[in-house]
Structure 1
Amino acid sequence: MGDVTGVGNRSGSAGVGRRLADICGADFARPAGAADEVAGQPARWVALPGSPRAVGDILRLAAEYDLSVVPRGAGTKLDWGAPPAQLDILLDTGRLAGVWHRSTGELTAEVGAGTPVRAVQAVLERSGQRLAIDVPSEGATVGGVVAADESGPLRHRHGSSCAQVTEVSYVDAGGALNRIGGRSASPDARRELAALLCGSHGALGVLVSATLRVQAVPASRLWVTRSVWTPLEMHDLVGEILSGSIAPAAIEIDLPGGQQYASWRVAGAADGSWQGSGHPAGTGRPRPSGPRGPGTLAVLIEGGPSDVAERVGRLGRLLGGDARTSAAPPAWWRQYPFGPADIALRIEVPIGDLHAAVYALRDAAGTPLPVRGSAGLGVVHAALPATTPPDRVAGILTAVRAVLLARAGRCVVVAAPPPVRRSVDLWGDRSDLSLLRRVKEQFDPDHRLAPGRFPGGL
């Protein structure tokens, strides 16, 4: 490793690097490199503590020298949200890894924050178990998933990834190790758990471990897919699924944008199935014949083999059209509709208004945009091209948020190129901003932990 002893900190001290090496070990503390940044903000040092105690020592050192600290897991979502106002120490949790304790009776497992989710799943799979966590980010760690409140398709049946957390151990801004949650925790303590770490981007505490719910791997899993022509048709189909007794594990939608959408529309017009900008033949459903619609609705059914087969049969009859069954998910399943350079949006709206939100996004952008996510929950992501000018992005956000505000919905910018990130309001209206500010002041009064990364820019 390089020499870290001569690097000064914000207050002019030259021994911070040496102190970090003493805490973590000489091979686990170094000056930051070109890749060590968070949403474009470069770090000054990187530290890899090997224990919760070492994490506390780092935070006490940061307090001593008035340094800022941002935790990092696998780095899969470091470009999400706002950049930190200051980044002195990038605290890498990679050594805080492992499945530390499993409780068979309570069906839980305590997992180190730096453990990749896929590694936990591999360990549990040996005994026929799993986490109900299927996040899209490849290589994501447990700590990173909790910090970003990231979830995948299984959130429809089992709740968000954070809903799988029953207990956490974290180090607060003062360097003290805390443990909250558990079977005996009060409702207030469980609410504190949710407010403290889930979605906080490391701005309230450094997670060192999480105790997660474990469940048996389903004996059978089948996907039923059906093409859809319009967001309205999607709305109708999802409503019928939810009102029936199908009990799906996930309901996902994939709506294309740009040229892909245009080519589908031309094909539909040639066949006579597509009429104007509405839905085919003036109904919510296309005819069974003709080309496939531009979008795809996919439903996952899990359970025992005979039960799954029966529910899949009923679902196929309910969906009609070109519904088909597969033992494998569609290629886009558990993937975001945006790439690393795109402007990524997250829309949350009551299920019955999701189609209105998609239409509002199309109207504001002047073209269909890729949209993908949990149609059964009203939580989807969308992508704007990276080349969209900042003022154009701001106009689209204003129009979409106006529609969503009347429907108790929200649109946030998940990730964007630096010029866009600096120019637009990433969060939109935050009626809970005063509450968020009080929480930040309570847990991090000196704004030392990931300053500016907390929702609302706190």
Structure 2
Amino acid sequence: MQVAFPSSTAEVAAVLRDAAAQRLRVVAQGRGTKRTWGLPVTADLLVDLGGMDRVLDHQAGDLIVDVQAGARLADVQAHVGKERQRLALDETVPGATVGGTLATNASGPQRLLAGTARDLLIGVTVVRADGVVAKAGGRVVKNVAGYDLGKLVVGSYGTLAVITEAVFRLHPEPEVRRWVTVEPDDLHHAVHAVVHSQAVPWAVEVDGTMLSVLLGGRPDGVAARVEAIRALVGGTVSETPPDGWGTYPWRPGDVGLKVTCVLSGLREVLAALADAGARVRGSAGTGVLYAALDVPDALPALREVAARHGGTVVVVDAPDDVKASVDVWGPVPALALMRRVKDQFDPEHRLAPGRFVGGI
């Protein structure tokens, strides 16, 4: 496989124009932390965006930041943190980049408070398979023009276009953060109690049988909210997050799942995952869990349970032989529409061919 190392959007465009002329199959990556996600890809050219790692602009007064796609989330956080601001995207995989996080729509604990990448993205620059540069949105939080392009490419696994730059809205850094951690007798009931409380939790996470709640803000307000949570579920208080906070539970060689459900179905979904011997971690407060399995035999039963509660089960990562033996994505009601979108953006199907749902 050939490898290109562009350092700007213009250089990405030139690379993709040349690839189009040669009808090369292309896959893009930042640091490669999620290169095994989705279905296996056979490509002729790897576009490595690791050199496109700069913060292009930070307008602290407007709470926005403009970054290149290859920038590590940790580096972006360090940059905006100098102004006591934060980008409310979690580094769910160590070393993850902005582009990879957008392409896979990865999310962590902060999604309860701030939403996912789609909610934080206000501008995006992409390069189409034919080398044409397209931009949407802007640098003003109220600007909604072109939002649809951003929403399309987020979670598309690089199959529609190569993301090269992104503009995000930021949040102020809280004065304090506190975590309340407890192992409740009834995890389902405890999650519901916290989510529906007046304590305004910033994150409600599970890790196995443990429940952790994040609260942030001014010291006096946080102290009162911590006590409100403890009155509901008990627990201990810490100024630092629990081990594994915000990261996925699987290791290389595991079957890694994303499991969703409505909150009312949490009890049954958690029970099904326990019966399957899964290691579970994730944002129970939003009905988004991540699980690690040793073998995929339980996948059909898990999908049946999740579907009863308005959810899905996706195989995020797994060895290639496992991916070849299971339906990685599961049922996709909008597949016909997604294929039409793919045909419009990449009519020759040369970008990350076959990686996404339905072989897109």
Shorter-chain TM range is over 0.9
Matched, 1:179 2:132: no
1-structure distance, mates of 2:54, 2:348: 32
1-structure distance, mates of 2:358, 2:217: 41
Matched, 1:356 2:268: yes
Q: Matched residue of 1:124: which SS?
A: helix
2-structure distance, mates of 1:311, 1:360: 32
- Name the Cα RMSD after superposition: 1.4
Deviations along 1:37-80, one digit per CA (max 9) or x if unpaired, are xxxxxxx1111012211111111111111101101101111111
The equivalent of 1:159 in structure 2 is: 115
The equivalent of 1:334 in structure 2 is: 246
Q: TM-score, normalised by structure 2?
A: 0.96
Matching residue's letter, 1:237 = A
Structure 2 unaligned spans of 5+: none
Question: Shift in Å at residue 455 of structure 1?
Answer: 2.8
Q: Greater Rg, structure 1 or structure 2?
A: 1
Q: Matched residue of 2:36: which SS?
A: coil
Matched, 1:302 2:216: yes
1-structure distance, mates of 2:196, 2:202: 15
The equivalent of 1:104 in structure 2 is: 60
Pick from 296, 314, 317 the counterpart of residue 412 of structure 1.
314
2-structure distance, mates of 1:406, 1:318: 29
The equivalent of 1:61 in structure 2 is: 18
Deviations along 1:189-214, one digit per CA (max 9) or x if unpaired, are 3233211x111111111111000111
The equivalent of 1:264 in structure 2 is: none
1-structure distance, mates of 2:314, 2:147: 26
The equivalent of 1:169 in structure 2 is: 125
Q: Is the 8 A contact 1:200 1:455 kept in 2?
A: no
Q: Matched residue of 1:228: which SS?
A: coil
Between 1 and 2, higher relative CO (CA 8 Å, sep ≥ 6) is seen in 2
The equivalent of 1:4 in structure 2 is: none
Matched, 1:234 2:234: no
Matched, 1:221 2:177: yes
Matching residue's letter, 1:79 = T
Q: Is the 8 A contact 2:184 2:190 kept in 1?
A: no
Matched, 1:205 2:145: no
Matched, 1:377 2:286: yes
2-structure distance, mates of 1:328, 1:225: 11
Question: Shift in Å at residue 215 of structure 1?
Answer: 1.8
Q: Which runs of 4+ in 1 moved over 6 A?
A: none
Q: Is the 8 A contact 1:110 1:209 kept in 2?
A: yes
% same residue: 41
Q: Matched residue of 1:340: which SS?
A: coil
Matched, 1:124 2:80: yes
The equivalent of 1:311 in structure 2 is: 225
The equivalent of 1:11 in structure 2 is: none
Structure 1 unaligned spans of 5+: 1-43, 256-294
Deviations along 1:241-299, one digit per CA (max 9) or x if unpaired, are 122111111000011xxxxxxxxxxxxxxxxxxxxxxxxxxxxxxxxxxxxxxx11000
Pick from 89, 92, 97 the counterpart of residue 141 of structure 1.
97
